[in-house]
Amino acid sequence: MEIVQLVVNGVLLGGMYALLGVGMAMIFGIVGLTNLAHGEFVIVGAYASTLLAQGMGVDPILTLCVTVPMMFLIGAGLQYALFNRAMRRGAEPALLVTFGVSIILQDALLLLFSADARHAETAYGLATVRIAGIDVSALNLVLFGISVCSVLLLSLFLSGTYAGRAIRAVSDDGRAASLSGVNVRRIYALAMGIALATAAVAGLCVGMKWTFYPSSGGRYLLIAFIVVVIGGMGSIPGTLLAGMVFGLAQVIGGANYGLLISYLLLLIVLTFRPKGLLGK
């Protein structure tokens, strides 16, 4: 029964890790850009959800109605006005620009909110649900549902809409898509907007699950990068699978060996499956 409890906890945690990585995987797979500011955008989403929930006196989940459109507009605007220009000069300048954005965001958060810890309180934060003889955190169940639904909705959008098909066409062959009439730069902006919208959802989950600081972005950038590499760069299903695997490794290893096991897993995958578990 103890093993089952560990597996359940690992899977629930893995759903959050998958959500942290899916935005980064999407940008790498479609735009070809490694967004080093992804962790900071997650923390921006966490601050936005926490402050809105406290100011309005509502459940933090309801703040997604504000934070998701806001982050989408920020992402699309940054890609269209800044990142697209940097990408014309090559991959390295664009990478440096994202690094600069991450530093600016971190310093801005520190200036606005100081270095104090924040956390989004919920009425069910400490509640547990007993399922088949196993005690499961109600908060973990809620966050897992949010994470998996977000990833599935993104997959449905990419496969079932015209914009999603255009995004996949640009991902497969940007030059051919451009010759077919697709505005590649606009698709890049749309993809970045969606990636930052998922970062807003991930930020909500981070704020509800853990305490966070203006400097916490680096931690979640590392988690996202590991999940994306294990799953396969640009593969959304692979990111979901890798999140589950990474979560299981963290829970089984515990506080002492969780990170060590996760890094060893990353090295093993890079050695035997350099393109990731589901990478093409």
**Nearest one of 226, 219, 218, 222 to 264, comparing CA atoms:** 226
pTM for the model stands at 0.94
Q: What is the pLDDT of residue 194?
A: 95
- Whether the CA torsion 35, 102, 86, 71 is positive or negative: it is positive
Give which of 25, 7, 3, 2 is closest to 249, Cα–Cα: 7
Cβ atoms of 140 and 8 within 8 Å: the answer is: no
Q: Determine the pLDDT at residue 91.
A: 80
Q: What is the pLDDT of residue 204?
A: 96
pLDDT at 1: 62
**17 contacts 221 by C-beta, under 8 angstroms:** no
**One-letter amino acid for residue 92 of the chain:** E
Residue 249, classified by CB atoms within 10 Å of its CB into exposed (0-12), middle (13-18) or buried (19+), is buried
Cβ(143)–Cβ(15) under 8 Å? yes
User: Could you give the CA distance from residue 56 to residue 62 in angstroms, rounded to a whole number?
Assistant: 10
The answer to whether 177 touches 169, Cβ cutoff 8 Å, is: yes
Q: How far apart are CA 194 and CA 105, in angstroms?
A: 19
Q: Give the residue ranges of the chain where pLDDT is below 50.
A: none
CB-based contact 202:42 (threshold 8 Å): yes
CB 223 within 8 A of CB 115: no
What does the pLDDT read at residue 280? 63
CA dist., res. 86 & res. 88, Å (int):
5
Interatomic CA distance for residues 192 and 186, integer angstroms? 10
Ordered structural domains, the chain, with CATH: 2-272 (1.10.3470)
Whose tokens are 């060996």? That residue is 257
